[in-house]
Amino acid sequence: MLRDLAKILGPRHAGALRVYLAWLVAYAVLEGAAIALLVPVLKALLSSDPAGATPWLLTLAGAVAVYYLARHQQTMKGFALALVVLTTLHDRLGDHVATLPLGWFSSEKVGRLAQSATGGTMMVTNVFAHLMTPVASGVLTPATIALAMLLFDWRLGLATLACVPLIYLAHRWSSRWIGRTEEAVDAAGAEAGNRVVEFARHQQVLRAFGRTSDGYPPLDAAIAAQQAAGGSMLRNTIPRLLVGGLSVHLAFLALISVGLTLALTGAVDPVELVALLALAARFAGPLAEAAGRTGLLRMAANDLHRLAEIFDQPALPQPATPAAPTRPGTIAFERVTFAYRPDQPVLHDLSFQIPARTLTAIVGPSGSGKTTITRLLLRFFDVSSGRVLVGGTDVRAQDSETLMAQMAPVMQEVYLFDDTIEANIRIGRPDAGEDEVREAARLAGVEEIVARLPQGWNTPVGEAGSLLSGGERQRVALARAVLKDAPIVLLDEATAALDPENEHFVQATIQRLKQRATVVVIAHRLPTIAAADRILVLDGGRLVESGNHRDLLARNGRYAAFWRERRRAHGWRLVPEAGPAAQPKRHPGPGVPA
Ligand SMILES: Nc1ncnc2c1ncn2[C@@H]1O[C@H](COP(=O)(O)OP(=O)(O)OP(=O)(O)O)[C@@H](O)[C@H]1O
């Protein structure tokens, strides 16, 4: 737990943490020492010469004074650290997350991150503000008392020490179990949370398929699992906490029995016995207090551990001396093999080159690795072997800013911010002038959309762009890419059919983009594929064919089969034109021969 705390606070606050811990230890030990001093004080006061208690009383007064100083210091420093945690943890988390590879950000990981950044932060704050003090005094104060007991009466001292492993084992047993069930409750809570978000986010689909009136089975199951985990924790935690507390009280009873036996046999003076039993009571008190917090402590330890795990995630390695691109706009995969999970490669020994200012279409069946190629280009992940070159330089040799400056990605799931159309385009290049924004919008066909909207350029697009259609959102994203004016544009075409107007604008923009940038399209639409300078045909993570549309059709291989299949499904046919490549035309209706 202390290791996790140090990791979370970071090297900047390591000194403050050490000072706080030193005061905490001093406080707990001094508390035990002050209590132990009561024995000689009581013995002297109840003896025939009470005046002999004076030096002990003075020592006790000194110990109490230092104890209060330590208590004050550790309380103040504990709250100061709690404040540091509150103010810096989000910053540190933000800084660290910004260094992680983009491939880390799955929805599950982001959900966990959100949970840790809210509840986890509060728990860490709580550790310093409220938990460390009772826990330290629950362990170190009794330990000091047990050692003092040995000095005063070795038999009672040994009996006290004998109780320690029993109490320790009882608490370990209960706290381990509580820790495990808390993890199960936490996992069930996270799953239920994810399902609620899924349920809310996909209401349209669920309602369309009538899945809301009878409940949504995955959500119902997640809630039932959460209730079961919570119920199980409650049923099993309370008896275990009672056993933990009971072990302390049983230890105290055992010490009374040993003390009485010693007194009855005359081995201990009755006055001394009273003093020693008072000491034994103080031995048991803090232990019982700590026992009551075992569950809370374990939960805090789990939260700390989850936060520490995030800090443990290795940052994306950055080159010591970043290299600059040497051949802007070019892309090359050199014998690239890549696996998301060890020993399960999804790309195998893949090699290809893409010259600058060309249009390349990547086609292939679902799961063949098309998206993975774009992820490697954007360095979401590093390759298992081989090299990915962007701008003629290995992506691992470039710093993230240099690499990203060369790319304008337009993915299928276009995310628009709840802002105006203009602001959403301007994200492509925040310092662009108004004319440039308008020009990018014109090239991507956004002007037509703006003309229809009530507030024109200032129309808010709604949360995640919900007030625009899918095709319109993609046009806005294309305008962003045009405005960024990056040497490479990565485009994942929408799989869903676009209406003819959106289709037309997307096609036209791709053609215009090609004049100024290298365009790589994960292509689903036949006109894009047919118009590409080069088509890469993937299957099972391997490049099975490559060439232009006409050559590949003539080869009558995988691509030709793929093309025929798609043409049948879409109702497209090829009409040879005067140009170098055949141009696809919309089939007027089913049954018309190609
Ligand atoms: N984050 C991931 N973790 C593990 N495996 C993954 C991950 N993403 C993709 N895969 C697997 O890698 C393989 C290639 O996936 P990829 O998404 O690149 O295919 P694709 O050709 O783009 O498919 P689609 O056309 O359906 O989008 C698939 O088997 C997929 O299950």
- CA distances in angstroms from 345 to 198, 319, 383, 503, listed in the order given: 30, 25, 10, 35
Mean pLDDT over 187-197 rounds to 81
> Is the minimum distance from the CB of 411 to ligand 1 under 6 angstroms?
no
Residue 336 CA, ligand 1 centroid: distance in Å: 16
> Is the minimum distance from the CB of 371 to ligand 1 under 6 angstroms?
yes
In this predicted structure, the answer to whether residue 577 has a pLDDT above a threshold of 60 is no
Predicted pLDDT at 590: 34
Predicted pLDDT at 579: 41
Predicted pLDDT at 589: 35
> Is the minimum distance from the CB of 340 to ligand 1 under 6 angstroms?
yes
Residue 339 contacts residue 148 (beta carbons within 8 Å): no
> Is the minimum distance from the CB of 62 to ligand 1 under 6 angstroms?
no
Give the pLDDT band of residue 161 (cuts 50, 70, 90).
Answer: confident
Return the ligand 1 atom nearest residue 541 CA: 14
Give the pLDDT band of residue 179 (cuts 50, 70, 90).
Answer: confident
Domains of the chain in sequence order: 2-312 (1.20.1560.10), 326-406+486-594 (3.40.50.300), 418-485 (no CATH)
How far apart, in whole angstroms, are the C-alpha atoms of residue 543 and residue 336?
11
Q: pLDDT by residue (tens digit) across 325-382?
A: 999 999 999 999 999 988 899 999 999 999 999 999 999 988 899 999 999 999 988 9
ipTM of the complex: 0.97
28-32, 169-173, 177-181, 352-356: which has the highest mean pLDDT? 352-356
Predicted pLDDT at 592: 28
> Is the minimum distance from the CB of 365 to ligand 1 under 6 angstroms?
no
Listed range (15-19, 346-350, 395-399) with the worst mean pLDDT = 15-19
Predicted pLDDT at 264: 83
Residue 432 CA, ligand 1 centroid: distance in Å: 36
Predicted pLDDT at 494: 62
From the list 415, 335, 416, the residue with the least C-alpha distance to 376 is 335
- pTM of the shown model: 0.65
How far apart, in whole angstroms, are the C-alpha atoms of residue 460 and residue 187?
38
Residue 381 CA, ligand 1 centroid: distance in Å: 13
In this predicted structure, the answer to whether residue 514 has a pLDDT above a threshold of 90 is no
Ligand 1: residue of 333, 347, 370 to mutate (most ligand atoms within 8 A of CB) is 370
Mean pLDDT over 197-224 rounds to 74
How many CB atoms lie under 10 A from the CB of residue 507? Answer: 16
Return the ligand 1 atom nearest residue 103 CA: 1
Cβ neighbors of 276 (< 8 A, separation 6 or more) are 39, 149, 152, 153, 156, 259, 268
How far apart, in whole angstroms, are the C-alpha atoms of residue 165 and residue 464?
58
- CA distances in angstroms from 7 to 47, 84, 307, 314, 548, listed in the order given: 54, 14, 9, 13, 54
Average pLDDT over the chain reads 82
Q: pLDDT by residue (tens digit) across 99-156?
A: 888 778 777 777 778 777 777 778 778 877 777 888 888 888 888 988 888 888 888 8
Residue 408 CA, ligand 1 centroid: distance in Å: 21
- CA distances in angstroms from 384 to 189, 348, 367, 583, listed in the order given: 35, 10, 18, 39
Residue whose Cα lies nearest atom 31 of ligand 1: it is 367
Predicted pLDDT at 463: 67
Predicted pLDDT at 574: 46
Residue 205 three-state SS = helix
> Is the minimum distance from the CB of 78 to ligand 1 under 6 angstroms?
no
Predicted pLDDT at 459: 82
How far apart, in whole angstroms, are the C-alpha atoms of residue 65 and residue 385?
66
In this predicted structure, the answer to whether residue 587 has a pLDDT above a threshold of 60 is no
Higher pLDDT, 137 or 201: 137
How far apart, in whole angstroms, are the C-alpha atoms of residue 572 and residue 248?
82
- Phi-psi group of 540: left, alpha or beta (phi > 0 → left; psi -120 to 50 → alpha; rest → beta): left
Residue 529 contacts residue 553 (beta carbons within 8 Å): no
Predicted pLDDT at 168: 77
Predicted pLDDT at 586: 45
Residue 373 CA, ligand 1 centroid: distance in Å: 10
> Is the minimum distance from the CB of 369 to ligand 1 under 6 angstroms?
yes
Residue 337 CA, ligand 1 centroid: distance in Å: 14
- CA distances in angstroms from 422 to 281, 442, 459, 515, listed in the order given: 73, 12, 8, 24
Q: pLDDT by residue (tens digit) across 448-490?
A: 888 888 888 888 877 666 677 777 888 888 888 889 989 999 9
Beta bridge partners of 344: 341
In this predicted structure, the answer to whether residue 498 has a pLDDT above a threshold of 60 is no
Q: pLDDT by residue (tens digit) across 520-575?
A: 999 887 888 888 999 999 999 999 999 999 999 999 999 999 888 877 766 544 44
Tokens describing residue 295: 């569950």
Predicted pLDDT at 545: 93
Q: pLDDT by residue (tens digit) across 228-239?
A: 888 888 887 778
Listed range (308-322, 327-341, 472-486, 576-590) with the worst mean pLDDT = 576-590
